[in-house]
Amino acid sequence: MPEQIQSMLSAEVIAARVRELGAQITRELAGEPLVLVCVLKGSFVFTADLMRSIDLPLRVDFLGTRSYGEDTESSGVVQITQDLSRPIDHEHVLIVEDIVDTGLTIAHLMDLLRTRQPRSIRVCALLHKPARARVNVKIDYLGFTIEDRFVVGYGLDFAERYRNLPFIGVVERS
Ligand code: IMP
Ligand code: MG
């Protein structure tokens, strides 16, 4: 049986919110240069759109992560599969995440990047599922709070599929 995707956030709704986040970041960083840290793979679509809404001198770097544990459950053990290409000391860092679920990945990344002495670290997450939080993480810029459903599209996957959907939705198995 084919799977159906029920839309939760349309491409238009996402685009409008991403523009707002970009404007807010631009305002608050007030001309300061910035490093966007795109957490691979899920955040590459969000990062590509967000960066074009930020009017600041910025560079982008990529951090590859894999959460051990299968399926839709994060184990909290985060493996770095690809490190940043340059140091971040004395720079303003903005971690760009697709979704904060248990919070374990972002908490781990904050700890890791702090050891490199950045000037500041902020977090921008497109989605947050507070129902599943296991650690408290401060999200400086948040797109949408969602209920506890497994979502795909706009970069987010289920077993590597659906990243190319222009909207965010829920997989429904028929
Ligand atoms: P954490 O539980 O906050 O550590 O989330 C770890 C990662 O799991 C996120 O960065 C996503 O890549 C992935 N993830 C969590 N929830 C979902 C979801 O609903 N759809 C797709 N990926 C998810
Ligand atoms: Mg992710």
Q: Are 50 and 19 in contact (CB under 8 A)?
A: no
d(CA 5, CA 104): 27
User: What's residue 158's pLDDT?
Assistant: 94
User: What is the number of alpha carbons within 13 Å of residue 49 lying toward its C-beta?
Assistant: 22
Of ligand 1's atoms, which has the minimum distance to the CA of residue 97? 10
pLDDT single digits (tens) 80-102: 999 999 999 999 999 999 999 99
Find all residues with CB under 8 Å of 49, minimum gap 6, and list them.
Answer: 14, 15, 18
Task: Give the distance (Å) from ligand 2 centre to CA of residue 41.
Answer: 6
What is the average per-residue pLDDT within 118-126? Answer: 98
Tokens 């000037």 belong to 119
The identity of residue 45, as a single letter, is V
Query: What CA–CA distance (Å, rounded) separates 46 from 154?
Result: 7
Residue whose Cα lies nearest atom 17 of ligand 1: it is 150
**d(CA 7, ligand 1 centre) in Å:** 18
Peptide bond between residue 41 and the one before it cis (omega within 30 degrees of 0): yes
Residue nearest to atom 12 of ligand 1 (CA): 42
Q: How many Cα atoms occupy the beta-carbon half-sphere of 81 within 13 Å? A: 9
Average pLDDT over residues 143-168: 96
C-alpha 70/C-alpha 83 separation (Å) is 22
Check whether 75 has a pLDDT greater than 80.
no
Name every protein residue with a CB atom under 6 angstroms from any ligand 1 atom.
42, 67, 74, 97-105, 150-152, 156
Single-letter residue type at 158: F
Nearest to 150 by CA among 174, 126, 168, 124: 168
Say if residues 80 and 112 touch (Cβ distance below 8 Å): yes
What's the pLDDT at 117? 98
